């Protein structure tokens, strides 16, 4: 089970997830500097830590690394929710309380997700004659291309030596 990311780790991972492409320390640094004063070495250390923890994989390009997310933000969020729920002494009551905190839009998304998981979603086809429930494709759209839902710890971290930066 992944541990919750720290504030700076989350800020870095947010960019990696949003950009959905290999990124350098310099790119992340320049974007973070629009919000706060931060040193290159700090971002480099955070990204190295994220690599060591299995959140990102990296490949050498020239004298720098390019970092890529190992899993999606959706998979990370789901794992955190599952961990919180499993720690409850009354999981049913925890779910009821959680559902009570949801907005109507969140409840609709939850209902669509349950339909997907239960296999009740039917694509619009001439034989079926039924349309896919509204919002049902949203959960599938959230997955990134090539994402297998893996979370850190599911695969070993990259091995190798650190090139000069």
- For residues 45 and 41, what is the distance between their CA atoms, to the nearest angstrom? 6
Tens of pLDDT, residue by residue over 25-48, are: 999 999 999 999 999 999 999 999
> Using 50, 70 and 90 to split pLDDT, how confident is the model at 133?
very low
User: In the prediction, which pLDDT does 155 show?
Assistant: 43
**pLDDT tops 60 at residue 10:** yes
Beta bridge partners of 65: 60
Average pLDDT over residues 100-114: 93
Considering only residues 116 and 151, tell me which one the structure prediction assigns the higher pLDDT: 116
Q: What pLDDT, on a 0 to 100 scale, did the predictor assign at position 47?
A: 97
Please give the share of the chain, as a percent, with pLDDT higher than 90: 58
DSSP 84-153: HHHT-SSHHHHHHHHHHH--HHHHHHHHHHHHHHHT------TTT--PPPTTTTHHHHHSPTT-----TT
Judged against a pLDDT cut of 60, whether residue 83 lies above it is answered with yes
pLDDT bin (cut points 50, 70, 90) of residue 158 is very low
Q: 152 falls in which pLDDT band (50, 70, 90)?
A: low
pLDDT higher than threshold 60 for residue 111: yes
User: Residue 135 has which token pair?
Assistant: 């919002």
């Amino acid at each position: 089970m992944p541990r919750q990311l720290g504030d700076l780790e989350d800020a870095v991972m947010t960019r990696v997830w949003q950009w959905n492409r290999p990124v350098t320390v310099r790119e992340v640094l320049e974007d973070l500097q629009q919000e706060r004063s931060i040193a290159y070495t700090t971002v480099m250390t955070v990204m190295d830590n994220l690599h060591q923890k299995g959140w990102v994989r990296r490949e050498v390009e020239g004298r720098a690394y390019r970092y890529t997310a190992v899993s999606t933000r959706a998979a990370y969020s789901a794992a955190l929710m599952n961990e919180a729920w499993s720690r409850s002494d009354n999981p049913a009551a925890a779910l009821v309380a959680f559902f009570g905190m949801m907005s109507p839009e969140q409840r609709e998304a939850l209902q669509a997700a349950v339909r997907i998981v239960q296999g009740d979603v039917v694509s619009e086809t001439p034989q079926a004659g039924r349309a896919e429930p509204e919002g049902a494709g949203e959960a599938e759209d959230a997955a990134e291309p090539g994402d297998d839902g893996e979370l850190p710890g599911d695969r070993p971290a990259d091995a190798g030596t650190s090139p000069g930066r």
